[in-house]
Amino acid sequence: MIVKSAAFITSAVKPDQYPEDLYPEVAFAGRSNVGKSSLINTLVNRKRLVKTSSTPGRTQLINFFSVNDSLFLVDLPGYGYAKVPAAVKRKWGPMIETYLKGRDSLAAVVLILDIRRLPGIEEQNFIDWLNLYRRTPILVLTKADKLSKIKRQKQARAISAALSVDESALIQFSAKTRLGKPAVWSAVERAAFG
C-alpha cells in the first residue's frame, strides 16, 4: 500500500460516536503496551499520528484513522493491564465487544502479540471471542527486533503451537526496524479489499 494520506478521524466509546462506515475497516487489538499504536504509525509512515507511550493503558478509547480516503484503521485500547482504574476496565469489555459485534464494515482484526511472550489466557479468550463472531484474526508478533533471528524462529514456533495455528500464519514485525511491514500491509489489504 502506498500511503498518500493518513489522518485521525475521531475517538469513540459507543456506536453513535463511530464515524460513518464509508470504507472497509481493520482494527488492531492486543495486550496493553504490546505496540498496537506503534504498529499503526509504522504502517502509515508517521512517527506520532497515533499516540504511543511506555506507560501501558495509554489508549483508552476506540480511535479511528483514515488512510488514502479508502480505508479506516482502528486502534483499540489494550487489555490485561492491571493498573488501569477499575472503572476503565469495566468499560473495556462492553466497549470492545459492542464494536466487534456490531461494526458491519470491520473487515479484519489484527491481533498483536509480543514475540517474547507465550500467549496467555487473555489472548486465547480474545481469539475464542473473535471466532465466536467469525472474525479470524491476522496474527502479528511484534518487537521482533528484541530477539536474535534464531530466537525469533524459536518463539514463532512455540507461539504457533500454543495457539494451534500454522507458523506461516504468524507475521513477525518490528516498529523499530520495520520488519514485516509489507506482510502486514498485504494481509490488511487482502482483508479490506479482497
Select 70 or 176, whichever has its Cβ closest to ligand GTP: 176
- The arrangement of strands across the sheet holding 6-12 comes to 6-12, 62-67, 71-75, 25-30, 106-114, 138-142, 170-172
Which residue has its beta carbon closest to ligand GTP?
78
Residue 37 in contact with Mg ion, rule: CB under 5 A = yes
Q: Candidates 48-56, 64-72, 122-130, 152-160 — which segment interacts with ligand GTP by CB under 6 A?
A: 48-56
Report the amino acid identity of residue 141: L
Residue 103 in contact with ligand GTP, rule: CB under 6 A = no
Residue 181 in contact with ligand GTP, rule: CB under 6 A = no
Distance CA 187, CA 109 (A): 11
Cα four-point dihedral sign 36, 44, 54, 11 = negative
Select 44 or 156, whichever has its Cβ closest to Mg ion: 44
CA 100 to each of CA 120, 129, 177: distance values in angstroms, whole numbers, following the listed order: 21, 10, 31
Residue 66: name its binding partner from ligand GTP, Mg ion, none (Cβ under 5 to 8 Å by kind).
Answer: none
Distance CA 23, CA 66 (A): 9
Number of residues engaging Mg ion in binding (CB under 5 A): 4
Interacting residue ranges for ligand GTP, rule: CB under 6 A: 30, 32-38, 52-54, 56-59, 78, 142-143, 145-146, 174-176
